Amino acid sequence: MKKIFSYDIVRGVIGQLIGTPIGFGLVAGIQALLGRPLNAEPAYVVGAVFGVLGFLIGLGAFSDWYHMVLGEEVHEPEEIQDPPGARRYWGLSFDHKVIGVQYGILSMVLLALGGTFALIFRTELAASGRQFLSFQLFNSLVGLHGMVLIASILMGIAAISNYVIPLLIGARDMAFPRLNALSFWVAVPASLVLVSSLALGGFETGWTGYAPLSIRGPMGIQLFFVGVWFVGWSSILGALNLIATIVRMRTPGMAMFNMPILAWSVLATSIMALTATQLIGLAFQMTLFERLLGMSFFDPAGGGNPILYQHLFWFYSHPAVYIFVLPGLGVISELLPVFVRKPLFGYRWIAMSSLGIALVGFLVWAHHMFAAGMEEYLRVPFMYSTLLVAVPTGVKFFSWTATMWQGKMRLQTPMYFLLGAISVFLVGGITGPMAGTVSTDLHITDSYYIVGHFHATMFGGYIFPVFAAIYYWFPKITGRRMSEKLGKWHFWLLYIGFMVTSFGQMRIGLLGMRRRIADYDAALGFDLPHMIITIAGYMVAVAVLLFFINLYHGARAGEPAKGNLWESRSPEWLAPSPMPVHNYDTPVVVVGEPYDYGLEGSKYVEVNQPVAPAAQAAD
Amino acid sequence: MTAHAATAHSSYADKLRTARIGLWLFFISDAFVFGGLLVSRFYLLGSTRPELDQFVGLIVTSVLLVSSFFMNRAEVQISQGNRKGFVVSTAITLILGVAFLVGVVGVEWQIAHFGPDDGPAGAVFYMMTGMHAFHVLTGVIFLALVLRNGLRGKYSTEKHWAVEAAANYWHFVDLVWIFFYPALYLIGTVA
């Protein structure tokens, strides 16, 4: 029994289980003292917030800061020894590699959960008429599918960034290791709060939480708001840490334009996540207070304006999709040269296109509101700014094409996923302008066309690249390889299953299928397409299941990975696998360009070389 | 010991530079919250403003601006090694901060003719002042901790990052009020 409590995560969950009733009881007690009848909603909100704080206190995430505030000396983060073996992943650790894996585990758990939600309502949609879901539950599942997977994606990009970025830039750790641990751990109780919204009646609004419906619906929406708010802080603090790391922690001699291209994408993503995320947090807080205190921000009945909610919400939620895809696109640019054995085409253009997407991404949010009744003069400017996104995105596509051109392609599993990513993202990209143009969008808005388009961008920009990244860096993490055979099965099932789903959704969308509805008229003739989409959806699920099996099998009994597995030029592959605790023994020395594949005798970096006597003396 | 192992615990000056970047990134992020609130104010209320007591507004604004002066003094004094002056200036800043909170939450909120549930004007006023007051409160707590550690002599001329961070945070929150005060008290006509 005592052994269980030595796991930090167990103490965290106990902290949450204690904190929640304390917060609930506090509010209920005040209400009782004031002689008012029990109003459960504020009690649940405060309970959820106290629960998250309880989790973090139980975990011990604040204890170092507590001692620092009292002016006491604390250990340097890197002096702290993690417990050996897999146990370290279940506790508070300040090592960026452990936190990266922790992010990855949380991301995969949320991926499985969000995917399961989708399968449930997909099964409901397989035939017209109502099958087994109530309308209320259907709506809640659709909304949670969206938000749980957004959390999963944020955790996934954080996993890649945390694990890989310090290795790529030759740093010993992130700039703020304690903050890094907090950013991860706050997301764990937040995810629990988010999902527990189902227990309070769910919510009807979908993931967007549009007012005024969110003001009137069941109180599950409150836990949804609180959960997302904390996940948002996880994202903000993680982004802050990554920017500081990339700006400050590069190995001496590595210029910004000489660092691996993934660092540029992560920098661009982090700039957006740092700033825009506050706006969704604010919009959700305002709705939360509108429900609790009757503050009329958004409900027209009280003089508010629901369009304001949409402006605040989309100011984050549109840049959010770039936050999701930019690291994925960075992974494509980073890995493609390794597998085609050619230099990356147009390094500076790619670096700048990431920043360009980040910049333009701030100026396009209102294209989600063309049909919402917003100010009419905003339509055309937002249409133009939206179409402008195609320019930096096009730069990336042309660079990938030129990089692959006449390359010596090595068709290993990560390369399959890179090709899948590029082709699926192309589908997502070229179906976009139709939705960004006002005249055509008025016809396809709120239809399944949008669903198909959106999922193509997410699969091409995140899902496929993240799988490529996992297959690529898994040996670095575990010292073992994943199965190539299972990996290729995984790829083909996912690719075919996804393409059928996406094109099927776009087709019925153009024919008039509305999104976010639990039932449709059999006379529309959509029964067969919906059945096919559902079957393809299950194919995607089987593919992901194969991936999980491959992960498990690879970690336990995979073929040992030796040396520079992919013949990469980047520093992490010149060090032993799995990566030693403090990364590199000696500072990484930059001696060349990062992507000069095929150039005889050239090197990007020298790693773990014995230090020259002169340097030692100078030290 | 190799050269790299020696740099493992990077110097205080090096860490300070990194910490400063972190703090400023936080300000940029937090500025978006206040920016969103300002946008909401003009979106919902346009050229009207809530009916507020101008005298109270002027007093609390002056109090906060003066507090920033003493905050700056405190930071300069600790960096010059004047520990006693530093403690006095920090204490004055702290008192002025509490006075601001009393002025906004204790006076203005109580004498206002409307509550948070009285239309968009009430909602905007209480949300903006409430969010700002929350930041002032965290700043006051921060200052109280700085004062406590300052009294125990934890800060030196070279190492006083906590003082610097508290001071910058205080100026940031002050700067926000420089935008909020005209947006709530001066711009537009009373509806």
- Mind listing the pLDDT tens digit for each residue in B81-129? 999 999 999 999 999 999 999 999 999 999 999 999 999 999 999 999 9
pLDDT at A1: 59
B13 in contact with A, Cβ within 8 Å: no
Query: In angstroms, what separates the C-alpha of A482 from chain B's closest C-alpha?
Result: 33
Cis peptide before A212 (omega within 30 of 0): yes
> Percent of chain B beyond pLDDT 70?
95
Range in A49-58, A290-299, B7-16, B161-170 with the lowest mean pLDDT: B7-16
The pLDDT of residue A37 is 87
Q: Are B127 and B168 in contact (CB under 8 A)?
A: no
A438, A379 Cβ separation under 8 angstroms? yes
Out of B3, B36, B154, closest to residue A282 by CB:
B36
Q: What is the mean pLDDT of each run of 10 residues along chain A (619 residues)?
A: 78 94 95 90 95 94 88 81 82 93 96 96 94 92 96 96 95 93 96 94 92 90 96 97 96 92 96 96 96 94 94 95 96 96 94 94 93 91 94 95 93 96 96 93 94 96 96 94 95 97 96 93 94 97 97 93 90 90 88 89 84 47
Neighbours of A392 (CB within 10 A): 22
Per residue in A400-431, is it b (16+ CB within 10 Å) or e — as a string? Answer: beebbeebeeeebbbbbbbbbbbebbebbbeb
Instruction: Give a yes or no: residue A175 inside a domain.
Output: yes
Residue A7's domain spans which residues?
1-75
The pLDDT of residue A612 is 54
Token output for A270: 């982090």
CB B17 within 8 A of CB A176: no
CA-based torsion, A228, A230, A232, A238: positive or negative: negative
Domain check: are A418 and A294 in the same one? yes
Residues of A in contact with B6 (CB under 8 A): 619
Identify all chain A residues contacting B16, using CB atoms and an 8 Å cutoff: none
Number of domains in chain A: 2
Residue A177 lies in a domain: yes
Rounded Cα distance, A610 and A133, in Å: 65
**Are residues A124 and A64 part of one domain?**
no
Q: A390 in a domain, yes or no?
A: yes
Do A18 and A102 belong together in one domain?
Answer: no
Nearest one of A434, A366, A426, A376 to A396, comparing CA atoms? A426
Write the ipTM: 0.93
Distances (CA, A) of A242 to A227, A256, A594: 23, 14, 20
Among all chains, which residue has been given the structure tokens 């549009």?
A210
Range list of β-strands (E), A536-603: 589-590
Tokens of B133: 């007051």
The pLDDT value given to residue A586 = 87
Nearest to A587 among B4, B32, B37 (CB): B4
d(CA A613, CA A202): 66
Query: Could you check whether the bond before residue A613 is cis, i.e. omega within 30 degrees of 0?
Result: no
Tell me the CATH number at A276: 1.20.210.10
Contact across the interface for A240 and B44, Cβ inside 8 Å: no
Report the distance separating Cα A460 and Cα A495, nearest Å: 10
Contact A388, A298 (CB under 8 A): no
Q: Is residue A592 part of a domain?
A: no
Indicate whether A56 and A125 sit together in one domain. Answer: no
Query: Does residue A103 sit in the same domain as residue A61?
Result: no
To probe the interface with B, which of A278, A286, A290, A310 has the most B CB atoms within 10 Å?
A278
**What whole-number distance in Å separates Cα of residue A41 and Cα of residue A44?**
5
> Of B54, B58, B137, which is closest to residue B101 (Cα–Cα)?
B137
User: Are A369 and A250 part of one and the same domain?
Assistant: yes
Is B44 near chain A, with CB under 8 Å? yes
Under a CB-based contact definition with an 8 Å cutoff, are residues A159 and A180 in contact? Answer: no
Same domain, A163 and A236: yes
Rounded distance between C-alpha atoms, residue A235 and residue A572, angstroms: 25
**Residue where one domain finishes, among candidates A557, A583, A607:** A557
Residues of A in contact with B7 (CB under 8 A): 587, 619
Whether A425 is covered by a domain: the verdict is: yes
In B, minimum Cα distance to A175 occurs at B18
Q: Which of A41, A75, A109 is the last residue of a domain?
A: A75
CB pair distance less than 8 Å for B40 and A312? yes
Given a cut of 50, whether residue B8 has pLDDT beyond it is: no
Q: Does residue A155 belong to any structural domain of this protein?
A: yes
The answer to the question of residue A421 being in a domain is yes
**HEC-encoded secondary structure of A80-111:** CCCCCHHHHHHCCCCCHHHHHHHHHHHHHHHH
b/e string for A139-150 if b means 16 or more Cβ within 10 A?
bbbbbbbbbbbb
CA pair distance A427, A136, nearest whole angstrom: 33
Nearest to A303 among B32, B119, B152 (CB): B119
Task: Give me the long-range contacts of A568-571 (CB less than 8 A, separation at least 24).
Answer: A568/A338, A569/A338, A569/A594, A569/A595, A569/A596, A569/A597, A569/A603, A569/A604, A569/A605, A570/A168, A570/A260, A570/A334, A570/A594, A570/A604, A570/A605, A571/A167, A571/A168, A571/A170, A571/A604, A571/A605, A571/A607
Domains observed in chain B: 31-190 (1.20.120.80)
- Inter-chain CB proximity B18 and A244 less than 8 Å: yes
The answer to whether B46 faces chain A, any CB pair under 8 Å, is no
CB atoms within 10 A of CB A351: 21
Same domain, A114 and A18: no
Q: What secondary structure does DSSP assign to A390-414, as a single string?
A: HHHHHHHHHHHHHHHTT------HH
Partner-chain residue, chosen from A289, A303, A315, that has the shortest CB–CB distance to B127: A289
Claim to verify: residue A216 and residue A274 sit in the same structural domain: yes
Of the candidates B125, B108, B106, which has an alpha carbon nearest to the alpha carbon of residue B190?
Answer: B125
Q: Searching chain B, which residue's CA lies closest to the CA of residue A239?
A: B25
Do the chains contact at A582 and B8, CB–CB below 8 Å?
Answer: yes
If asked whether residues A465 and A384 sit together in one domain, one would say: yes
In a domain, A519, yes or no: yes
For residue B9, list chain A residues with Cβ-Cβ distance below 8 A. 76
Q: Tell me the helix, strand and coil percentages in chain A, rounded to 5.
A: 70, 0, 25
B143 interface with A at CB cutoff 8 Å: no
Q: Are residues A173 and A282 in the same domain?
A: yes
Kindly state whether residues A100 and A14 are assigned to the same domain: no
Residue with tokens 């417990």: A83
Q: Is A282–B9 a contact, with Cβ atoms under 8 angstroms apart?
A: no
B55–chain A Cβ distance below 8 A for any pair: no
> How far is the C-alpha of A404 from the C-alpha of A344, rounded, in Å?
9
Contact B21 A286 (CB under 8 A): no
Distance from CA of A274 to the nearest CA of B (A): 6
